[in-house]
Chain A
């Protein structure tokens, strides 16, 4: 869980680099590294542990959600992001309370990173009356209006257009808040993707486009999605920087994201970040994902972002086995409490279906 302290220090760090002007649009490439990073940019132990805690929290929440779905504790479907946590945590961890997230269907945990109470997140899965949308959206389609997480639709890439609109509105307000929009590789094929990024480029909007390229759009492989090797190449067409990073390395994503967020905050416009990553499980819990080879899945599981980060933190003497166990125990207790809350919450009354059609 991101504490207020390390959020503040992160935003101070961003504010400190205000003067770093970015000149012409460029496309950078950061080749995915094979091992851990040699340096971590001198990040404080508090920040590193904050990132670690949040990674673990997202992983444990997501795995718990999968178990609950299998136990028929909730119906519908669930779109697990296990394996991709570093993209979400790295991109959203440094956001301020007044910043926005435009999530997609696999970004349930974006709410958790932004600070939404866990009990509401699990109530969302359970479609209970205590969920932020009072049981309206499908389980993983969660938003949290008090912290500016937009409740997503299922139409792919739409959240990217609405997020772009929010960025447009924020710029017009002359505020320094920013938007982070999450989407997958499949969304980049959608016509609305082009309209949104083009508009953001024209107006240099304060938005960071975070593409979680997990190689598969449901069952469609990347080679049938695009002729590009690096999706960040698309940014060039819109006149702003694009960068491809190892999406399973939380500090690589964090570094790219904080740079992009700072750019956005100071009025230098959008950035496209391609996070190369992988989802461990099927598109959803009812998808056995037989279209992928076991070897491919195994190879990516070995790139699990959590042990990689643990290794780094242990080497830096920030994390001990004892602390690791303590963190896991704390989060597990918090999750159990949240699940109990969701379990005990009532379902909405049937006639509540007619509420909130109109605003007054």
Chain B
């Protein structure tokens, strides 16, 4: 039976259900037990499963992930939480040098089935160190799967798929979606497969490649443009690694125009790779330049409201880019 749930409630339900279903699953992180998480993603788990499976850790992201990697080698399915992606830097060795390479460097002798939940994203007044995204850092590392849902349905389904995946998965959660994104979520067990992109809106004129919170912004912009006679096709790359090239290319070959939208900084961002894929494999189909709407190349999202607004991509910025591209 489907009910309307908020994004955070869908994540919470997935954790409850998977921990009931599979005794190998446990969660760990800062403030996730007694307090239920700073955003309450893990609410109620401590009361139900106890400290053995819901562990408040020392304030040390490196060992949160490294302990998960090690525990996964002896059969556990750990789900560590990184409270803010801004703090994931301490866990970079554990994620990039260990989790992503253990299977490879042991030629399959070891596998590392961990799901690192990472809260990310701006637009909530978080300032420099509570607003970053940084998914691009990890998409560069084969051996890691990276997903970022935009709907409560996908949040639950992708999280269950991630925990059941035999590879390390980074599960990015945009904090602005936690309570604003609401939607139907089945109570039953289901998974959304890691890999396939989702065509959120069909259109003949412009392909918009987008992920995470920006999916909603792109859909709003598409509605604005629809009234002006331009039909955009919104393709959400809800799995960022490995990318669903086929769906991306199929759409671009149909619309002949490609707009890429993401919140994170521009240079060498995920948009750069999407752009390369399209130009390498669908060049002859393009009727105009590949256009990117992204955050600017400044170190992080500043705190003061006008500065934050300057950084963030909004509907107006996407509409303006669509207008420009539609003119070709």
Contact = CB atoms under 8 A, between A and B. Distances in A.
Interface of A: 132-134, 136-137, 141, 143-146, 150-151, 153, 155, 158, 161-170, 172-173, 191-192, 195-196, 198-199, 202, 355-360
Contacts of B72: 165, 169
A97 B307 CA distance: 59
Nearest to B110: A145
Interface in B63-80: 63, 66-76
B58 A195 contact: yes
11 contacts: A141-B105, A145-B109, A165-B68, A165-B73, A166-B71, A169-B76, A172-B26, A198-B60, A357-B103, A359-B108, A359-B166
B94 interface: yes
Nearest to A154: B97
Given A151-B105, A158-B97, A172 B52 contact: yes
A164 B63 contact: yes
B109 A143 contact: yes
For this complex, into which size category does the number of interface residues on chain B fall? Answer: 35 or more
A163 B69 CA distance: 9
Interface string B130-141: 000000000000
B106 A169 contact: no
Interface string B66-105: 1111111111100000000000001001100110011111
B111 interface: yes
A141 B98 CA distance: 14
Given A132-B107, A166-B74, A169-B70, A199 B58 contact: yes
Interface of B: 26, 52, 57-58, 60, 62-63, 66-76, 90, 93-94, 97-98, 101-113, 142-143, 166-167
Nearest to B28: A168
Given A136-B105, A356-B104, A169 B60 contact: no
A56 to B, nearest CB: 28
A195 B90 CA distance: 10
B71 A199 contact: no
A151 to B, nearest CB: 4
A355 B107 contact: yes
A284 B322 CA distance: 58
A294 to B, nearest CB: 37
B66 A202 contact: no
A132 B106 contact: yes
B58 A173 contact: no
Nearest to B70: A165
A161 B70 contact: yes
Nearest to B99: A162
Given A165-B69, A196-B66, A202-B58, A133 B105 contact: yes
Contacts of B26: 172
Contact of B57 (A134, A192, A199): A199
A169 to B, nearest CB: 3
A192 B60 CA distance: 9
B293 to A, nearest CB: 32
A165 B109 contact: no
A194 to B, nearest CB: 8
B107 A164 contact: no
A198 B58 CA distance: 8
Contacts of A165: 63, 66-73
B111 A359 contact: yes
A136 B104 contact: yes
Contacts of A143: 105-106, 109-110
Contacts of A145: 106, 109-110
B63 A192 contact: yes
A88 B328 CA distance: 69
A173 B113 CA distance: 17
A181 to B, nearest CB: 10
Q: Counting chain A CB atoms within 10 Å of each CB, which of B70, B76, B94 scores highest?
A: B70
Contacts of B67: 161, 164-165, 168, 199
Contact of B167 (A158, A198, A359): A359
Nearest to B114: A165
Contacts of A198: 58, 60, 63
Q: Counting chain B CB atoms within 10 Å of each CB, which of A134, A165, A172, A192 scores highest?
A: A165
A71 B90 CA distance: 42
A291 B71 CA distance: 40
A161 B66 CA distance: 6
B143 A357 contact: yes
B26 to A, nearest CB: 7
B164 to A, nearest CB: 12
Q: Counting chain A CB atoms within 10 Å of each CB, which of B62, B66, B68, B102 scores highest?
A: B66
A137 B75 CA distance: 24
Contacts of A359: 103, 108, 111-113, 166-167
A133 B253 CA distance: 42
Nearest to B55: A203
A173 B53 CA distance: 12
Contacts of B68: 165
A172 B111 CA distance: 18
A172 B60 contact: no
B225 to A, nearest CB: 39
B58 A133 contact: no
Nearest to B71: A169
Contacts of A191: 62, 90
A133 B102 CA distance: 10
Contacts of A151: 102, 105-106, 109-110
